[in-house]
Structure 1
Amino acid sequence: MKPIIIVGSGLAGYSLLRELKNRQCQVPRVLITAAGGDSYYKPNLSTALAQKKSAADLVLADAAAMGQTLSAEILTHTRVVELDPIHHRLTLDRGGELVYDKLILAVGSAPIRLPLTGDGAEDCLSVNNLEDYALFQEKLTTAHRVAIIGPGLIGSEFANDLLQSGREVVIIGPDPWPISSLIPQAAGQAVQQAMAEKGAVWHLGTFNGAIEKTATGIRTVLQNGAKVEADLIMTAVGVRAETQLASRSGLKTNRGIVTDLFLQTSAPDIYALGDCAEVGGKNLPFVQPLMIGSRALASTLLGQPTEVHYPPMPVAIKTHLHPVITLPAQTKEGHWVFDGQPTTGIVGRFFDSDARLAGFVLTGNRTSEKAEIMKELPQ
C-alpha cells in the first residue's frame, strides 16, 4: 500500500499525523524532515529566554518517540530534491525514491532576509526554529546589548523576552508603531511605552544602515542619524512561506502554495498545510488555522472530503510586559472606538461601515475580557 507522505516536522506536520492516528488511519504514514525531527511548540521560541530555557528544554519529544507514538516512519535530516506530481514520486537527497498515495507539504516558512551591507552583516541572525534558538542562546552568553531590526510581532516578542531576561534592547524599523500590521496605533503605543519603561530604546520610522564591526561589538548608523551600538543584531522582519519545492515542481504558488478550501494544491493528491499554504487566498501563519486545517485534512485524506472553515481567530501577542490579543479586521472601511488607559490596558473595537463589530484589540489587564468581546461579534 502506498503511504501518505508528509514533508515537514513542524506543528503542521505533527498535528496532521496526530489527527490521522486519532482516526485509526490504516494507511502507512511517512514524515520527511530536513531537521532532526524534534517536536516542540514553535511559539515558545520567543518566550524561552526569560524562563531560562535552553533549546533542549523546549523539546517535547524526539523523532524516535514521535514516530512510535504516532505510528509513523520519520526520516530525519532528509531533503526532498525532486517532486514528480505525475508519477507521485519523491527523490531524496540521500538517495532513493518514495512513491506516495497522498502528499502533504507542511514545509513552513522562512525568515525574510534583508539585503544587509557591511562587514558585520554576516553575524546578524534570525530565530525561526530550534536550531536557530540554540545558536541565539549561545551568542547571548557574551552579548548583553541586542539590537532588533523589525518592530513587528516577532521582533516585539523577542524584544520583550530579552528585556525580561535582563538585556539591553534597541528596536529599529520603518514602522510607525510596534506591530502596526496587526494592531492600531493606540495599542502599539501602549506596548511601546511599557517596554520603554523596562529600558527598551525604539527607533521607529527609520531604517538601519550598514552593519559594521567595531572593537567592542557592532554598530549601525540609522537613516535618522542615530548611532546604535550592540553586541548582537537580530533581524525579525517577518516570514515568507516556503514555496520553492512546490514552485519548481509546477504547483501554483503565490504568497504561499495555493490551495482550495480542501487544502488541495493545483496538483492531484498533493495538499499544503500550515505556514506554507495559501488557503482560499489567505496565508495565515498562526497556530489556530493549522490546527483547524489538520482536522479537516485528516478527514479528507480518509475519504470524507472536508472544507476548512475558519471561525474568528484572535491572535495572542506575547509581549508580557504589556500583552495583546487582537482580532484584525478584514476591512479598512470603518473606525476604532477605544476605552481604558494605555498604562494599564485598553479595549479597542473596530466597527465597519455598517456599524458592525469587525475586529478588536485588548491590551494589558484588559486581555481578560476576550471571552466577553468575542460574544459581541456578529454571528
Structure 2
Amino acid sequence: MTDQAPIVIVGTGLSGYSLVREIRKLDKDTPVVMVTADDGVSYSKPMLSTGFTKGKDAEGLAQADTDAMAEQLGVTIRTFATVTGIDPAAHELILGDERLTYRQLILAWGADVVRLSLDGDGLDKVHSINDLLDYRAFREALAGGKRVAIMGAGLIGCEFANDLRNGDYQVDVIAPDAHVMPSLLPEPAASAVQTELTNLGVRFHLGTVVDRVDREGEGVALTLGNGDTLQADVVISAVGLRPRTALAAAAGLATGRGIQVNRALETSAPDVYAMGDCAEVDGQVLLYVLPLMACARALAKTLAGERTEVSYGTMPIMVKTPCCPTAVCPPPHGADGQWQVEQDGSDVKALFVSPAGETLGFAVTGRFA
C-alpha cells in the first residue's frame, strides 16, 4: 500500500521547499504532499531581518503564494493543517481525525521560539518572529510606533537591530551577556559589531535582563534586572530557538536536542527523516542556511533511490549587519586551539588555530568580511 503512497513533507519553510526543489530535479513524477500549519506562502526566513533595509513589508518578502508553489513544483500543499501524531508502524501521519498514508515522511517543521517568563501586563506587545506570519503581526503592531526594544543580542537580535535602525527606529538591545553574539563570535569580532551598531545608534544594555513589561500609554515600560527602565512601542524577543521534538518523541522517535538523525537524515523509525531546524544531525543542531541546503541535496538523492549521506564543507555564516559586514565559521564544538587575531579598528580577522597549526574556524568583520 505504501508503494503507491506519496512522499509527505511536514513544513513549507525554507527546508521543505528546498527539499522539493531538489527532489524535482531528480524525480518529476513521484507524488509529493506538503503539510503546513500556516498559509504555505514561500519566503526566505533569513530575509525577515532585512525588511526595512530592503524597503519591504511582509508581503514584499513573500516570494510566491501557495497555488504558485504547488503548480511550480508539481505537489499538493495542505495549508493550516495541524499534525497531531505519527504512526510509524502504519506509515501514517495523523491530522486530527484523518490519517495520511506516506511512502516516506520528512519532518521539516522547524523550531519553536524560546519564550521568557516575564511579569507585567504588557506582554501582548512582545513579539517573537519565527515566520512570515509572525513578521506580518510585528509590522502591524509597529505601525505608528518608533521605539523598539529587543531582548537578546545574538545573531537575530543584532540583525534586527541593524535593520530597524536602517528604518530610522529607536532601538534598545537588552541581554545578559557581556558582549553580542557570545556563542558565535570571539570577543574582538563581537566588539567590532557592537561598536558599529552603537555608532549606528543602537543602545545596548548588557549584563542584565528584562524582568517586567508593563503597559504605559500606547506602548510599554520595561523594567530591567539592574533597576533601569526603558520605554518602547513594541518588544522583540530574540532569545533563541528550540527544535520541535514533542510529536516525534511521542511517536517513539529518538530525540535529544533535536530529532536525532544520522548523516543520511534517517530517524530511528523506518522511512521517517528529519531535516532543518528540528533535526539533530549526527549530534549537531545547525540552524543555518548552508547546512540546510546540503541536507536537502543529500536527502533528495536518498528519496530518489540513492542513499546519500550529507557532507558538510566549509559553511560560513553571513551575519546580516551591513553596518559591520561579518562572516564566521565556528570551530567544531570542544575543539582544542586558540584565536589568533589581526585587528584594525572594527576590521577584524580572527583564526581559530589548533596546537598543530591547523585552522579550524574563522571570524571576519569589516573589510576582511
- TM-score range (shorter-chain normalised) is over 0.9
Aligned to 2:80: 77
Unaligned stretches of 5+ in structure 1?
A: 368-379
How far apart, in 2, do the equivalents of 1:253 and 1:149 lie? 29
Q: CA deviation at 1:46?
A: 0.2
- Counting matched residue pairs gives 365
| Of 20, 44, 47, the match for 1:44 | 47
Is 1:27 paired with 2:27?
no
How far apart, in 1, do the equivalents of 2:62 and 2:258 lie? 28
Aligned to 2:239: 237
Q: CA deviation at 1:8?
A: 0.4
Aligned to 1:190: 192
The amino acid across from 1:195 in the alignment is L
| Of 290, 293, 297, the match for 1:291 | 293
8 Å CA contact 1:2, 1:101 repeated in 2: yes
8 Å CA contact 2:27, 2:304 repeated in 1: no
Q: Superposed, which structure 2 residues align to 1:339-378 within 5 Å? A: 339-343=342-346, 345-367=347-369
How far apart, in 2, do the equivalents of 1:289 and 1:25 lie? 24
8 Å CA contact 1:16, 1:295 repeated in 2: yes
Aligned to 1:373: none
Aligned to 1:251: 253
| Partner SS for 2:51 | coil
Q: Which moved more, 1:327-336 or 1:106-115?
A: 327-336
Q: CA deviation at 1:50?
A: 2.3
| Partner SS for 2:129 | coil
8 Å CA contact 2:125, 2:220 repeated in 1: no
Q: TM-score, normalised by structure 1?
A: 0.94
How far apart, in 2, do the equivalents of 1:51 and 1:11 lie? 20
Residues 155-177 of structure 1 deviation map (CA, whole Å, 9 limit, x = unaligned): 01001101111011110011111
How far apart, in 1, do the equivalents of 2:91 and 2:339 lie? 50
The amino acid across from 1:50 in the alignment is T
Q: Which moved more, 1:207-216 or 1:45-54?
A: 207-216
Aligned to 1:89: 92
Q: Superposed, which structure 2 residues align to 1:182-331 within 5 Å? A: 182-215=184-217, 217-330=219-332, 331=334
8 Å CA contact 2:6, 2:103 repeated in 1: yes
How far apart, in 1, do the equivalents of 2:123 and 2:98 lie? 38
Aligned to 1:374: none
Q: TM-score, normalised by structure 2?
A: 0.96
How far apart, in 1, do the equivalents of 2:281 and 2:242 lie? 15
Q: CA deviation at 1:217?
A: 2.2
Aligned to 2:159: 157
Q: CA deviation at 1:187?
A: 0.7
Q: CA deviation at 1:121?
A: 2.1
How far apart, in 1, do the equivalents of 2:157 and 2:344 lie? 24
How far apart, in 1, do the equivalents of 2:232 and 2:68 lie? 41
Q: Superposed, which structure 2 residues align to 1:57-136 within 5 Å? A: 57-93=60-96, 95-136=97-138
Aligned to 2:143: 141
| Partner SS for 1:47 | helix
How far apart, in 2, do the equivalents of 1:157 and 1:239 lie? 16
Q: CA deviation at 1:25?
A: 4.2
Unaligned stretches of 5+ in structure 2?
A: none
How far apart, in 1, do the equivalents of 2:327 and 2:238 lie? 20
The amino acid across from 1:164 in the alignment is N
8 Å CA contact 2:111, 2:277 repeated in 1: yes
Q: Which moved more, 1:215-224 or 1:166-175?
A: 215-224
Q: CA deviation at 1:233?
A: 1.1
Q: CA deviation at 1:189?
A: 0.8
Q: Which moved more, 1:217-226 or 1:183-192?
A: 217-226
